[in-house]
Amino acid sequence: MNRADVLMEVDELLKKINDKNIRIFDATITDDVYLQSHIPGAAYFDHERFSDPDSPYTVTLLPEAALAEQIGRAGISNENEVVVYACGMLPYAIRAWWALRYAGHENVRILNGGLTAWKNAGGETETEAREYEPATFEPRFDSAMFADKDEVFASMEDRDVAIVNVLPPVSYEASHIPGSINVNCMELMQGDFSHGFDTLLPNDELALRLKEVSQRQRIITYCGGGIAAAVNAVAHLLTGHKNVAIYDGSLYEWLGEGMPVNGNGNWEIWKMK
């Protein structure tokens, strides 16, 4: 997938900010951060509203019909150009992108660098909460973009499938799906814990870090609750792999359902989304 099909650089958004067809969403995990400062006109992408309220596991995506309805309720039609971003929390913006692409929206991109890049480029901000008028969205779901626990279990000993834990090594060592490989999602982004992770590495650097995993025919990424896993999934798409999925339930579901695990048993370490 072409990088420009996934990522929008800030100079392009500066030129399009007044386009009436554009829909901009701040996908930062908490709305209080959104209300402190956001791109003018941007609405808040509430991950809770896109998550299944009937699931016992955190931020599990809505069922298909409900997801399509929620996309329309958020003001997104198939014709709108959509831009998602976050403030120091790139994985949440990527997760929003993945959900919309899974539902069949073909014109959605992630603002590379997020709100930090916007401010650094001289972009103005506002604090007023915004919402778009509801729209009609006609979905075209791509079921291959998500894997369930049954597929993951069946793939544990399949050499054609890479099951990738994207959490830091200490979390991987604490608890991971047997046979899964550890590729830390933080090593695919630019940033740090103090200022956040806003930007994906250039494609050549991503390809180098993903080289070993990319040899497999299918890639399934997972984390604690399905958010961070989106970083590695998108990175694989950017470097040319086409058969990539996120295990949406991730470790919350895997452990909750009593599935087999390897690790040192320090269960608290891995609890990050």
**Domain residue limits at 236:** 144-256
125 and 160 in a single domain? The answer is no
Q: Give the CATH number of the domain where residue 183 resides.
A: 3.40.250.10
DSSP string, 45-66: --TTTTB-TT-SSTTPBPPHHH
pLDDT given for residue 195 in this prediction: 61
Residue 40, in any domain of the structure: yes
Instruction: Look at residues 225, 29, 217, 20 and name the one whose alpha carbon lies nearest to residue 114.
Output: 29
Per-residue pLDDT at 265: 72
Using the 3D structure, point to which of 141, 169, 195 is the last residue of a domain: 141
Verify that 7 and 111 share a domain, yes or no.
yes
> Which pLDDT score is estimated for 192?
66
What Rg, from alpha-carbon coordinates, does the chain have? 18
Q: Which residues contact 112 (CB under 8 A, 6 or more apart)?
A: 7, 8, 9, 10, 198, 199, 200
- Final residue belonging to a domain, choices 141, 168, 202: 141
The pair of three-digit structure tokens given for residue 179, joined into one six-digit string: 């046979």
Residue at a domain's end among 141, 175, 191? 141
Residues 149 and 247 in one domain: yes
Query: Are 137 and 21 members of one domain?
Result: yes
pLDDT of residue 272: 44
The reply to whether 239 and 184 lie within a common domain is: yes
Give the pLDDT score at 273: 46
Inside any domain, residue 262: no
Q: Are 267 and 251 in contact (CB under 8 A)?
A: no
Our count of domains for the chain comes to 2
> Do residues 105 and 148 share a domain?
no
* Successive 10-residue mean pLDDT values, the chain, 273 residues: 94 96 95 95 97 93 98 98 94 97 98 94 96 98 97 96 96 95 95 74 96 95 96 97 97 95 70 46
Residue 1: what pLDDT?
A: 86
Q: Is 273 within the bounds of a domain?
A: no
78 and 33, same structural domain? yes
pTM of structure: 0.94
Asked whether residue 267 is domain-assigned, the answer is no
The answer as to whether 214 is a domain residue is yes
Looking at the structure, tell me whether residues 164 and 128 fall in a common domain.
no
Please state, in angstroms and rounded to a whole number, the distance separating the CA atoms of residues 168 and 179. Answer: 17
pLDDT at 100: 98
* Residues 22 and 42 grouped into a single domain: yes
- Is 22 found in the same domain as 72? yes
* H/E element, 22: strand 22-26
Residues 74 and 198 placed together within one structural domain of the fold: no
Is 136 in the same domain as 154? no
